[in-house]
Every structure is written in C-alpha cells, then in structure tokens.
C-alpha cells in the first residue's frame, strides 16, 4: 500500500465538539478547567486551553505534587535556592515562596548566587537577583569564582578558548554552590533545572556514551552522604521550559533573559536543537525522554566510578584529585588542557608536586580556538 510520502505532520488540536462549535462561531474558547473564564493560553504540556488563574494553579500544584511525592524536603529545613537571575531560578524562587506559605512546608528559604565573572552577562543577571532579594524578601549570598579560585570565566576563556570552557564553568559552579551552602549552613540546595534540561542531559549522555552519568542524571535529588556535600534537588524537574516562560510572563516576574555569551559552541547545543525539534513533532516527547531515562538500566559488570575524596581539597571525587583541582592546576600552570580529556596518570604526579615531562607539557598546552 503506497503511503503518500509527503504527508507532513499537521498540528492536531484536541478539542471537544462544544469548543469546536464555539470556535466556528468565533466565540471565545473557555478554560477547560473552570469553564467560566476565557482561555488565554494553551498549555504546551497537554494542549489544554486554560485561563490565567487555572494555569497558575495547575503549574504550582504540579510542583507541589512533585515536592510531596518525591519527599524532597523535611519540615524546618533550611533550603538554599540556586538563583542566577534567569527565568528558571526566578520562577523557582517565586513558586517555592508561594508553596511554602500555602502548604506550610515550614522551610527557611534563602537565595544563593554564583558570580562567574562573565562581563555583559553575569553582572547584569546579578542585578536581577539583587532585585529578587528585595521582591521576595529572602536573604541573599553571592559567591564568586574570583574569591574562591582566583580566576574569572573571562580570564579562563582567554586561556582555554571557546570550545571547552563550559566544562570549567560547570565544574567550578558546582563546588561554588556547595561552598556557599556550607557557609550559610544550608540543609539542602534546590536548583531550577526543568524538564527540558533533564531531557537534554539524557540525550547528551547517550551521545557521549557516558553510562555512569546516564544512570544518575534523571534522579530528582542527589545522594546526601559525604563530607562537604549538600544534597540537591530539582523541584521543577517535570515543568516544561515553555510553561516556565509562560508563568513568568503572566505573573510579570522580573528575570534576565539573555543566554550566556559563551554557550553557542557547547556540545549541548546539538542535543538542545534536537529536543526542540522533537517537541515540535510531538509535544509529549520531553516527558517521554525523561521516562526512558528513568527506566534505563545498566548491565552488571560495567565499570562504574567509585566515590572517594580528593587528595588535595577533600571534596568528593571519583579520582585521586577532584576535577576542580585538576582544572585549577592546569590553569595556574598554563596547561589548559589538563582537565580536558583523560590524563589520570598525571593526577598522582600533580598531587605530589612533581614536574611534568616536556612531552606531557606540550600536549597539554595545545589549544585550538
């Protein structure tokens, strides 16, 4: 049987006969939840038409269900919200505050922000965070790469180039958040990772063949043992990015909406474009990817990293030296490629402060912009 090969996917609107009727008569579509007010938006997640209030309620309620069912917090805990000034963390801060009051979580909330030292991006977004602090009346703590490591991202990019700089930023930020959390004596950190982020991570780990991360990346909260480690969770894990934008827009929240200037060259961009295309074909694809990720299982006998501690700073690490220390060492010695790629044998040498051979130095210096 010959299928018409050029049949393209048409956007199927799922509406009841009644609303079809109303649309035909050019009458306003009613909200499918309260059926009283006029619908002002269509949910990207389920394609239902909702009015503003019902959408807010549905969105907040979903986050509440996530928090309660996954048992993310305990009564009386101090929770640090990772705030960057972007839409995810602004919405997270807002929703956490609303739910904390509405459902009596009994949490003490504060804002934690990291200054990577990217001019034209981070300094502007930090201003937004400071405004958030006033708007939500939450205490704020800012930690910067400069004071923790002695390097700003701008300086790092000058040394490393434009291809692998996201590695540095991500690794340093993780530690920076933990350090900040410990300074404030926080019990848990929550970040604004949304469904799109988690789905992208699953796809990226498959493309990169990173089986260890693939297993862990869909977990909603991280493990809570270990010295100097503050457990983290993602309350917005099942919220679509588009819905977060809609929420922020309709609530008129104050957020900073520019992308990091160094991001276009990251590998994650490929996974992101793919995911966006998937969403265009089938809107539920984002949740489907997360569902697949949660149901993956790794064969026994596959080599997995074992958790230990770093020889130099005591942070958790699966190697002799934690990634942060390795990267920092590379930067300080003018060997930017020390953290990129696999040089496990050299960790021992660095730990013991032994000089590297000429050959090793040459390999670690080469940078392609």
Partner 1 sequence: MCQVDEEYNGQLDHRVTPRVSKKCVKCKENTTVLIIRAGDAFCRGCFKEYFIHKFRAMLGKNRVIFPGEKVLLAVSGGPASSSMLSQVQEGLSRDAPKKLRFVPGIIYIDGNAQMIITALWQKHFYFVLSLPSSVLEAGSSATGKPPTGSSYKAAVDHFIPTRKNQNQHPDLSVENAQSHLSNLSMQEVQNGVTSPITPEHTQALKRLFASVRTPTAKEDLLHTLRQHLILHTARTQGYTKVMMGDSCSRLAIKLLSNISLGRGASLATDTGFSDPRHGDVVIVRPMRDYSSKEIAYYNRMFDIPSVFIPGLDSKAQDKASIQRLTESFVTKLQTDFPSTVSTIYRTSEKLHTACPPQNTNTQLSAKCLLCVCALDTKLEEFSAYQATLISEQLSQRRGQGHSSGGGQSQGCETGDGGCCSSAKSTVDLKSLLCYSCRLTIKDMTALDALPQYILSEAERRRSQMREEISEFLLDEEEDEAIPRVNGS
Kindly state the smallest distance separating residue 17's Cβ from partner 1, in Å.
6
Q: Using alpha carbons, select from 306, 337, 256 the residue that is nearest to residue 88.
A: 256
What whole-number distance in Å separates Cα of residue 356 and Cα of residue 364? Answer: 10
Residue 114 labeled ligand binder: yes
**Site residues for partner 1, window 42-61 (CB under 8 A)?**
43, 45-46, 48, 50, 54, 57-58, 61
Specify the residue, 120 or 264, whose C-beta has the smaller distance to partner 1. Answer: 264
83 in a known ligand binding site:
yes
Tell me: is residue 7 an annotated ligand-binding position: no
Interface pattern 224-253 for partner 1 (x via CB under 8 A): --------------x---------------
Q: Does 39 engage in binding with partner 1 (CB under 8 A)?
A: no
Please identify, using beta-carbon distances, which residue of 233 and 346 lies nearer to partner 1: 233
Q: Exposed (0-12), middle (13-18) or buried (19+): which is 159, by Cβ within 10 Å?
A: middle
Q: Would you give the DSSP letter of residue 30? A: B
15 contributes a contact to partner 1 by CB under 8 A: yes
- For partner 1, which stretch binds (CB under 8 A), given 38-46, 153-161, 170-178, 313-321? 38-46
- At residue 260's C-alpha, the angle toward residues 257 and 262, to 5°, is 160
By CB under 8 A, is residue 306 in contact with partner 1?
A: no
Give the number of other Cβ atoms within 10 Å of residue 135's Cβ: 14
**Closest approach of partner 1 to the CB of residue 238, in Å:** 4
For residue 225, the tally of other CB atoms under 10 A from its CB is 8
In 210-292 the beta strands, taken as DSSP E runs, fall at 232-233
Least distance (Å) between residue 99 CB and partner 1: 15
Using an 8 Å Cβ cutoff, are 122 and 145 in contact?
Answer: no
Q: Does 287 bind partner 1 (CB under 8 A)?
A: yes
Cβ 300 to partner 1, closest distance in Å? 8
Burial class (CB in 10 A: 0-12, 13-18, 19+), 215: middle
Indicate the residue among 11 and 137 with the shorter CB distance to partner 1. 11
Q: Is residue 204 a contact point for partner 1 (CB under 8 A)?
A: no
DSSP state at residue 140 = E
24 binds partner 1 (CB under 8 A): no
Strands 316-317 and 188-190, bridge-based pairing:
unpaired
User: 172 Cβ partners below 8 Å, 6+ apart?
Assistant: 116, 145, 148, 149, 324, 327
In this structure, the chain runs to a length of 369
Positions that interact with partner 1 (CB under 8 A): 1-3, 5-9, 12, 14-17, 20, 32-35, 43, 45-46, 48, 50, 54, 57-58, 61-62, 65-66, 69-70, 202-203, 206-209, 211, 214, 220, 238, 270, 274, 277-278, 280-282, 284-285, 287-299, 302, 366
Binding residue positions for ATP: 82-84, 88, 114, 192, 197
């Amino acid at each position: 049987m010959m299928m018409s090969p050029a049949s393209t996917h048409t956007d199927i609107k799922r509406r009841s006969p009644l609303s079809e009727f109303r649309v035909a008569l050019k009458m306003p579509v009613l909200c499918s939840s309260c059926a009283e007010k006029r619908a002002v938006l269509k949910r990207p997640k389920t394609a239902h038409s909702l009015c503003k209030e019902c959408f807010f309620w549905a969105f907040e309620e979903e986050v509440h269900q996530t928090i309660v069912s996954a048992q993310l917090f305990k009564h009386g805990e101090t929770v640090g919200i990772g705030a960057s000034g972007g839409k995810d963390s602004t919405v997270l801060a807002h929703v956490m505050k609303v739910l904390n009051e509405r459902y009596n979580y009994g949490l003490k909330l504060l804002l934690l922000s990291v200054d990577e030292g990217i001019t034209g991006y981070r300094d502007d977004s930090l201003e937004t965070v400071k405004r958030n602090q006033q708007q939500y009346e939450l205490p704020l703590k800012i930690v910067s790469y400069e004071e923790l490591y002695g390097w700003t991202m701008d300086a790092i990019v000058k040394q490393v180039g434009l291809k692998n700089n996201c590695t540095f930023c991500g690794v340093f930020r993780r530690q920076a958040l933990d350090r900040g959390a410990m300074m404030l004596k926080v019990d848990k950190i929550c970040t604004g990772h949304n469904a799109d982020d988690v789905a992208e991570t699953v796809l990226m780990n498959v493309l990169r063949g990173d089986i260890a991360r693939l297993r862990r990346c869909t977990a909603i909260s991280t493990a809570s043992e270990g010295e100097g480690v503050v457990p983290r969770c993602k309350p917005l894990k099942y919220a679509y990015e588009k819905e977060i934008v809609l929420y922020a827009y309709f609530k008129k929240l104050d957020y900073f909406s520019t992308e990091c200037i160094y991001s276009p060259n990251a590998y994650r961009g490929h996974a992101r474009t793919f995911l966006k295309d998937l969403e265009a074909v089938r809107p539920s694809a984002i949740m489907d990817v997360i569902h697949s990720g949660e149901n993956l299982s790794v064969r026994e006998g596959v080599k997995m990293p074992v958790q230990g501690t770093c020889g130099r700073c005591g942070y958790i690490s699966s190697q002799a030296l934690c990634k942060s220390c390795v990267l920092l060492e590379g930067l300080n010695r003018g060997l930017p490629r020390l953290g990129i790629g696999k040089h496990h044998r050299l960790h021992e040498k660095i730990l013991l402060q032994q000089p590297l051979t000429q050959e090793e130095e040459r390999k670690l210096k080469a940078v392609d912009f």
